[in-house]
Chains A and B, each alone.
Chain A
Amino acid sequence: MKRRSVIAGLGALFATGCSKVADSSAGQALFKVSNEWHRKAQRALTGRKAMAPEFSRAQISPYFRGNGSLTVGTPGYAAALESGFADWRLLVTGLVEHPLSLSMDNIRRLPQRTQITRHDCVEGWSAIGEWTGPQLSMLLEAAKLKPEARFIVFHCADRLRGQPYYESIDLDDAFHPQTIVAHALNGAPLPERNGAPLRMRIERQLGYKHAKYLTLIEAVASLEQIRGGQGGYWEDVAGYQWYAGA
C-alpha cells in the first residue's frame, strides 16, 4: 500500500510539474520554438519544392470523410449550393498589385492540376482523394504579390462554434506546385461536407490547414493582426500548431 501511494504521489507530482511547465509563458515559448524547429528542419531536409506522394486511382478512398464544418449552414449557402454556386466569388486581396474577383467559371477555365493525394488529419486518420483545381501560385502571380507579403491567409464562409474559420501558410507552401484551389473531388464538383464550392489543398501539412468553403485569399505581412493572431481558427481557439507538417 505504501509503495502504491508513493508511486501515485510521484505521478501526481510529475503531472503537476508538466502542467506547470505547459501553463507557464516559458513553457509556451518552448513549444513555439520547438514547432518552428520542426518547420525549419523539415524545410532543410526536404527542399522547398519536394512533392507529396501521389497515388493511383485504385487507391482512392471509396468515401471521403468530412470533418470540422460539414456545411456553411446559412440560407444563402443553401441557395448557392442549389444554384451550383453561379454567383460565388473568390477574392484575392491584401498585399497585391491587382486584386482579383473570380467566379467559379473563371476558376474552372484556368489551367488545372489534378492530383491524387492522401489527406492526413491531425487526429490520425488518412483518406485518399483526387483533387482538381488551379494552382494557388497562378492566382498569386496574376494578382502579383507586393514585396512585403509574407503569408497567405484563407478566409472561409463557415463558422465553427460561432467563429469564422480561417487558415494561413507561408510563401513556400503558397507557391508549391501541389498547393491548389480545388473545386472537384474524384472528378465531381466538391461535395458539401468537403468544402463546396472551393477548398485549399496544402499537401505537405495536416488537414486543418486545408481551408474549406473558401471565399477570400489575402496576402499579408504578418499574422498578428488577424483575428486571434495565431494564424488560424484551431491555432486561435485551441492552441494547435501553426506549422502542421509534423
Chain B
Amino acid sequence: MPPTARHTRRHAVSTRLWHWLNVVCVVILFMSGLNISNAHPRLYWGQAGFTAREAWLHLPTFPGWATIPGYYSLSGARDWHLLMAWPFAFGLLAMWVAMLTNRHFVRDIATRLSDWRWSAIRADIVAHLRFDFDHGEGKYNFLQKLAYGVVLGILLPGMILTGLAISPGIEPSFGWFAQLVGGRQSARSVHFLFAWGIVLFAVVHIALVIASGPIRQLRDMVTGGRAL
C-alpha cells in the first residue's frame, strides 16, 4: 500500500473537479459570448468606437446553433454570461490556490530555463508530429507545459480581467484594467481574441486526447487514474 492514496493519482481531485466545472463554464460563456457579439459585430482599438470605419475587425453573425440562447437575445445571453462568470472566476482562483499548495504548478507546469532551448523544443515538436506521446521524466513535455501555462496563467485570467475592464461599474476603481490594453474597446477586442485563443487550445487539447487514448484519458480525468 502506498502511504496515501493522493500520491498514486494521476490527476488530483482538485484538478478533476475544476477541469469539468471549467468545461461547463467555458462552453456556456463562449456560446453566450457569441450571442453578445452578434449585438454589435465589430471590434475597435482604444477607448471608444462605433462606426464601421473605426473598426479593425468586422465579425460574422454567429448562427443560432453556436449561441446561447439559440436565437438572438442580448439580455438572455447576458443573463447566462454574467451568471457563469461567477463559477468561472472563483473556480480558477480555487484551482490556482490548489495548484500552488499541492505543488502541481511548480512540479508539473512551471518550465525551467533549460526547457527553453531550441534543440529541446524542436525534439518535442518532432515527437508530437510522430504521434509519440511517451515522454520520459516529468508529467508533461515542454509543449504541454507551455500550453497549460498560457491557458491557466494568461488566457483564462485574461478573460476575467478584460471582462471586468469593460464593466462600467468596475472601471471607476480599476481603470488600469482597461488602460493596460489601451482602453475599453481594446479590452473588448482582447476579450474576444482570448476567447478564441481558449477555443484554439480546446481544439488541439481534444485532438491530442483523441490521439493518445481517449477512453483512458477521459476515465483518468474523472476517477483520477494511476500515477505514472
Binding site for B on A (CB under 8 A): 11, 14-15, 18-19, 22, 30-31, 34-35, 37-39, 42-43, 45-47, 50-53, 55, 59, 61, 63, 65, 118, 120-128, 203-206, 234, 238-241, 243-246
- Report yes or no: B50 in contact with A239, Cβ–Cβ below 8 A: no
Mask for B54-98, Cβ within 8 A of A = 1, else 0?
000000000001001110011110111011001000000000000
Please tell me if B138 contacts chain A, counting CB pairs below 8 Å.
no
Cβ of A245 and Cβ of B167 under 8 Å apart?
A: yes
Tell me whether B175 and A246 are in contact (CB under 8 A).
no
Task: Give the complex CA separation of A65 and B167 in angstroms.
Answer: 20
Give CA–CA (A50, B172) in the complex, Å.
5
Q: In residues 136-189 of chain B, which contact A (Cβ within 8 Å)?
A: 166-175, 184-185, 188
CB nearest neighbor in A for B172: A50
Establish whether residues B184 and A126, one from each chain, have CB atoms under 8 Å apart when the complex forms. yes
Given that A22-B69, A46-B169 are known contacts, is A120 also in contact with B184, CB under 8 Å in the complex? yes
- Indicate whether B107 reaches chain A with its CB closer than 8 angstroms: no
Residue of B nearest to A129 (CB): B48
Q: Are A65 and B82 in contact (CB under 8 A)?
A: no
Q: Is B40 an interface residue (CB 8 A)?
A: yes
Across-interface contacts of B174 in A (CB, < 8 A) = 45-46
A134 vs chain B, min Cβ distance (A) = 21
Are the C-beta atoms of A31 and B48 separated by less than 8 Å?
Answer: no
Query: Do A15 and B68 form a contact, CB below 8 Å, given A37-B86, A59-B47, A238-B75?
Result: yes
| B39 at interface by CB-CB < 8 Å | yes
Which residues of chain A are within 8 angstroms of B73 by Cβ–Cβ distance? 238
Chain A: CB-nearest residue to B41: A124
Extra contacts besides A65-B50, A128-B47 (18): CB < 8 Å? A11-B65, A31-B80, A34-B82, A37-B86, A39-B169, A46-B173, A46-B174, A47-B172, A52-B168, A118-B184, A123-B74, A124-B39, A124-B188, A125-B40, A127-B48, A204-B169, A245-B170, A246-B169
CA distance A84 to B120 in the complex (A): 75
Q: A46-B174, A124-B39 are in contact. Are A34 and B83 (CB under 8 A)?
A: yes
Interface pair B168/A241, CB less than 8 Å apart:
no
* A34/B86 contact (C-beta < 8 A), A53-B171, A245-B170 known: yes
Minimal Cβ-Cβ distance residue in A for B39: A123
B225 contacts the other chain (Cβ, under 8 Å)?
Answer: no
B25 interface contact, C-beta 8 A: no
Distance between Cα atoms of A15 and B184 in the complex (Å): 31
Number of interface residues of B (CB under 8 A): 40
Q: Are B50 and A126 in contact (CB under 8 A)?
A: yes
Closest 8 A/B residue pairs (Cβ)? A245-B169, A50-B172, A125-B50, A124-B40, A46-B173, A42-B169, A123-B40, A31-B79
Instruction: Name the residue on A nearest B27 (C-beta).
Output: A14
Min C-beta distance of A44 to chain B, whole Å: 10
Is B28 located at the chain interface by the 8 A CB criterion?
Answer: yes
B197 contacts A by Cβ under 8 Å: no
What separation, in Å, do the CA atoms of A168 and B68 have in the docked complex? 28
Given contacts A47-B173, A50-B173, A126-B185, contact A234 B47 (CB under 8 A): no
Whole-angstrom CA separation of A18 from B47 in the bound complex: 34
On chain B, the residues within 8 Å of A59 by CB distance are 47-48
B195 at the interface (CB under 8 A from A): no
Q: Which of chain B's residues have a CB closer than 8 A to the CB of A34?
A: 79, 82-83, 86
Query: CB-CB < 8 A to A241: which residues of B?
Result: 75, 78-79, 82
Query: A42 contacts which of B28, B70, B80, B167 (Cβ < 8 Å)?
Result: B167
Asked whether, in the complex, the Cβ of B40 is within 8 Å of the Cβ of A246, the reply is no
Taking the nearest CB of chain B, how far is it from the CB of A36, in angstroms? 11
B12 cross-chain contacts in A, Cβ below 8 A: none
Q: Which of B48, B51, B70, B175 contacts A19 (CB 8 A)?
A: B70
Kindly list chain B residues whose C-beta atoms are within 8 Å of the C-beta of A52. 168, 171-172
Could you tell me if B86 and A127 are in contact, using CB atoms closer than 8 angstroms?
A: no
B36 at the interface (CB under 8 A from A): yes
Give the complex CA separation of A20 and B44 in angstroms. 35
With known contacts A11-B65, A53-B175, A246-B169, A122–B39 Cβ distance under 8 A: yes
